[in-house]
């Protein structure tokens, strides 16, 4: 029996006894800590909401860091009053004005930045003049990416290829408008400096961004209380601790990054610890955090997987008789896109007993609270990441208690609202692609003669030479045209799971392992299954890519959202050119064509 069931049977009491963890990462009690975190076993706190006023949300954020246990560090986005990682709430058409100050500091006594992420990335050949164009990429650099948002890939909006903000730079202003037809749902913000993304995100630099109006897409959600849940990963707090006696024994082998390799058992030591809204749930005893709901209450839970490398497989268990049984979760949106908005009639709710959420992905679902006196729990089930992947075992996250005295969450959806207007463009799934491209994930094998060498991670366009991403290059791997719709077939030629993500747009999953499907929603992140010795065909997904939005014009990236892989080079660059002028359209063949441009 798993350890978390033993915890439930004991009345939701932490088995750590008198052990009191400090900060989520071992900072001394009473120390001045700008990135101070909750204590294991604390109730789930709600991130602070910042809402737009008169069509504008204006705020100041400071990026800070602090030394952590081992060779890692904690990172945080702070408001002037010290509040960490606020949830940004905007409506379609609103303007966001975010002023970011980089206050990162070297944290070693000798002034080096080794503990901030190891090697310093290559710097640009010119002297620094402008954070927009000439900023170096070092362990003290940062920037912001607004994940899932369809805003231009331009300086001061959502550019991650050139923007690199230094501690010596003045405050850097991000300013953009949410598209009027922006899909209502859950998005997020995080740093995206190449080579540094994993360390900063794993250190806690992330926050939620919500485009309001999901109840306009699905009236079933009107009046529901809502919760924002951000699951983050971090290095193991107790890496040398043996597994609980209730765990099946499994040998904990380490991969080339020092993380525990997938054991194939669904249990054992995880590659990373998890936290929920910064409350840690550390291995091996998993002292869980808690939420109290009114009995049988329906709430909208908006869950973000802000992990650097950890997959989630979310499930709810309620105790029915002597056993804990799975409960239905009503999925209403994936990656910020309600499943009711396009491609399907009515206002559907997809009821699932578990939901796989890749790193970077989001899911919004109706959570029905347990009856009075019935203990419950939100867990993450094991995810099979392949023999080359990290170990993501089954483990608990949140205890759920029913009480008539439960305090209402801080946010509630409007009880009445106008429906969303009809989409201005045809449903993506009904549009024929103008071309088909093939890309593939691949990796170098570990060199036994150089065990410390970092192998290459690649995301290659078929027909092009295989090469890790070069942040100093300006050459695109793909050139597309605004207004077009394309199909991309993404293959996985490795033995581990990868999560494909592209900036600035969404796509539809139209085939999985060669089998045609028709999902009634869009994504910006999708898993690509891994290869095994028994695989007869190369595992793949087929994605319908949407370049119709004028804000997709520009140069941006696509990559694996396991950030260790992205930082090691598993990324490509795409340039979307403006639509052809009407006079030029006559000279372009409308027939679909295969291309590896």
Whole-number pLDDT of residue 516:
94
Query: Looking at per-residue confidence, does 251 or 292 come out higher?
Result: 292
Contact in structure between 131 and 163 (CB atoms under 8 Å): yes
Highest mean pLDDT (candidates 2-11, 116-125, 288-297): 288-297
Whole-number pLDDT of residue 582:
56
The model's confidence at residue 522, banded by pLDDT at 50, 70 and 90, is very high
Contact in structure between 53 and 145 (CB atoms under 8 Å): no
Q: What is the 3-state secondary structure (H, E, C) of 260-299?
A: EECCCCCCCCCCCEEEECCEEECCCCCCCEEEEECCCCEE
What dotted CATH number matches 428-578?
Answer: 2.60.40.420
**Closest to 250 (Cα-Cα) out of 259, 260, 240, 258:** 260
What is the CATH T-level fold of the domain 226-412, as seen in this structure? Immunoglobulin-like (2.60.40)
Distances (CA, A) of 92 to 213, 284, 424: 8, 44, 14
Core vs surface per residue 283-317: b (16+ CB within 10 A) or e: bbbbbbbbbebbeebbbbbbbbbbbbbbbbbbbbb
Q: What is the 3-state secondary structure (H, E, C) of 476-521?
A: CCEEEECCCEEEEEEEECCCCCEEEEECCCCEEEEEECCEECCCCC
Is residue 108 over pLDDT 80? no
- The maximal CA–CA distance of the chain, rounded, in angstroms, is 76
Please calculate the CA angle 381-304-520 and round it to the nearest 5 degrees.
Answer: 85
What pLDDT, in 10s, does the model give residues 336-380?
999 865 555 567 899 999 999 999 999 999 999 999 999 999 999
What pLDDT, in 10s, does the model give residues 173-229?
999 999 999 999 999 999 999 999 999 999 999 999 999 999 999 999 999 999 999
Whole-number pLDDT of residue 321:
80
Contact in structure between 426 and 228 (CB atoms under 8 Å): no
The model's confidence at residue 17, banded by pLDDT at 50, 70 and 90, is very low
Q: Please report, for the chain, the start and end positions of each structural domain, with discontinuous segments joined by +.
A: 23-214, 226-412, 428-578
Unique residue bearing structure tokens 């952590």: 68
Q: Is 147 exposed, middle or buried (0-12, 13-18, 19+ CB in 10 A)?
A: buried
* Superfamily for the 23-214 domain: Cupredoxins -  blue copper proteins (2.60.40.420)
Residue range 536-543: mean pLDDT, rounded: 92
What pLDDT, in 10s, does the model give residues 68-98?
765 578 999 999 999 999 999 999 999 999 9
**Which one-letter DSSP state was computed for residue 53?**
B
pTM of this structure? 0.88
**Which one-letter DSSP state was computed for residue 21?**
-
Query: Looking at per-residue confidence, does 1 or 39 come out higher?
Result: 39
Residue range 108-137: mean pLDDT, rounded: 52
Residue 500: which residues within 8 A CB-CB, separation 6 or more? 490, 525, 526, 527, 528, 541, 543, 558, 559, 560, 561
Residue 415: which residues within 8 A CB-CB, separation 6 or more? 222, 223
Sign of the four-CA dihedral 473, 475, 477, 483: positive
């Amino acid at each position: 029996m798993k350890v978390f069931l033993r915890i439930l049977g004991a009345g939701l009491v932490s088995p750590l006894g008198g052990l009191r963890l400090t900060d989520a990462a071992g900072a001394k009690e009473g120390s001045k800590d700008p990135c101070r975190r909750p204590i294991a076993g604390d109730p789930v706190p709600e991130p602070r909401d910042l809402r737009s006023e008169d069509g504008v949300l204006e705020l100041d954020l400071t990026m800070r860091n602090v030394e952590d246990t081992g060779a890692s560090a904690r990172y945080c986005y702070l408001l002037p009053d010290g509040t960490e990682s606020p949830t940004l709430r905007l409506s379609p058409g609103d303007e966001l004005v975010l002023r970011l100050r980089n206050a990162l500091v070297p944290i070693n006594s000798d002034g080096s930045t080794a503990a901030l992420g190891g090697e310093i990335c290559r710097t640009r050949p010119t002297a620094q003049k402008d954070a927009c164009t000439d900023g170096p990429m070092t362990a003290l650099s940062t920037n912001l990416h607004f994940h899932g948002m369809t805003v231009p890939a331009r300086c001061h909006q959502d550019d991650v290829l050139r923007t690199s903000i230094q501690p010596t730079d003045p405050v850097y202003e991000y300013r953009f408008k949410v598209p009027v037809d922006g899909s209502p749902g859950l998005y997020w913000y995080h740093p995206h400096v190449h080579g540094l993304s994993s360390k900063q995100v794993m250190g806690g630099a992330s926050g939620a961004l919500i485009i309001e109006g999901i109840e306009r897409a699905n009236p079933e959600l009107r009046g529901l209380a809502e919760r924002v849940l951000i699951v983050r990963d971090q290095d193991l707090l107790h890496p040398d601790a043996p597994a609980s006696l209730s765990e099946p024994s499994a040998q904990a082998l380490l991969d080339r990054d020092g993380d525990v390799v997938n054991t194939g058992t669904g249990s054992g030591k995880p590659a990373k610890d998890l936290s929920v809204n910064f409350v840690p749930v550390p291995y091996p005893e998993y002292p869980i955090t808690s939420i109290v709901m009114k009995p049988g209450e329906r709430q909208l839970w908006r869950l973000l997987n802000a992990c650097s490398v950890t997959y989630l497989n979310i499930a709810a268990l309620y105790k029915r008789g002597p056993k804990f049984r799975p409960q239905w979760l009503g999925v209403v949106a994936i990656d910020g896109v309600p499943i009711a908005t396009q491609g399907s009639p009515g206002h559907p709710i997809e009821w699932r007993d578990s939901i796989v959420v890749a790193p970077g992905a989001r899911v919004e679902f109706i959570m029905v609270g347990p009856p009075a006196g019935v203990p419950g729990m939100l867990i993450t089930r094991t995810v099979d990441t392949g023999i080359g992947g990290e170990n993501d075992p089954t483990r608990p996250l949140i205890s759920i208690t029913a009480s008539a005295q439960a305090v209402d969450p801080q946010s509630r959806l409007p009880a009445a609202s106008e429906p969303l207007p009809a989409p201005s463009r045809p449903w993506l799934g009904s549009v024929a692609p103008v071309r088909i491209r093939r890309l593939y994930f691949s990796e170098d094998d570990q060199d036994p003669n150089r065990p410390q060498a970092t192998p290459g991670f690649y995301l290659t366009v078929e027909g092009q030479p295989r090469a890790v991403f070069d942040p100093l290059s300006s050459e695109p791997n793909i050139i597309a045209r605004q207004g077009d719709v394309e199909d991309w077939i993404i293959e996985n030629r490795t033995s581990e799971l990868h999560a494909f993500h592209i900036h600035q747009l969404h796509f539809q999953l139209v085939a999985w392992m060669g089998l045609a499907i028709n999902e009634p929603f869009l994504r910006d992140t999708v898993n690509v299954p891994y290869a095994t010795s028994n695989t007869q065909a190369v595992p793949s997904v087929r994605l319908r890519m949407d370049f119709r939005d004028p804000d997709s014009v520009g140069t941006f990236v696509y990559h694996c959202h396991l950030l260790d892989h992205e930082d090691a080079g598993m990324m490509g660059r795409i340039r979307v050119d403006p639509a052809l002028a009407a006079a030029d359209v006559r000279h372009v063949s409308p027939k679909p064509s295969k291309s590896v441009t």
